Amino acid sequence: MLPRHQTQLRFLVVGGWNTVFGYGLFAGLYYAASRIGLHYMAAAVLSNLIAVANAYFCYKWFVFKTQGNYLREFLRFNLAYAGIFAFNLAALPLLVNAASLSPLMAQAIVLVASVALSYLMHSRFSFGSASPEAEQ
């Protein structure tokens, strides 16, 4: 059973790293931004840009192990992430303003919903055509 699901298991492990990295980066930038009077969304945008670059290399090298064209995969990866980021940008203020959650709690909730969407998009679109393991 495990060999058949190696890609998914690697995705979860690397996704865990990406989540910790991205959330930690957001938290650090949120606190830094709040100290100098910047809105929490500035921290969300900047942390996302950095976290996406980190995630691309982690998924390419450790999860899907593709040999595909870096530029083409990076562009597809960013297109997929743009959809995930759009979801984040819509959901974060909704949870903060409508549900009265703190930005940190709201971002944690958004991250959970993004995991399944992220796997589907990356396994089928970003790296799917170049990775024989993506179908497993």
Q: Which of 5-9, 35-39, 105-109, 113-117 has the lowest mean pLDDT?
A: 113-117
Average pLDDT of span 42-61: 92
Average pLDDT of span 59-85: 90
Q: What is the mean pLDDT of the chain?
A: 88
Q: What's residue 2's pLDDT? A: 63
Residue 94 has pLDDT above 90, yes or no: yes
Q: Could you tell me the CA-to-CA distances from 132 to 19, 26, 89 in Å, in that order?
A: 25, 34, 33
Q: What's residue 129's pLDDT? A: 60
Straight-line distance from the first to the last Cα atom of the chain, in angstroms, rounded to the nearest whole number: 11
With a pLDDT cut of 90, the percent of the chain lying above it is: 57
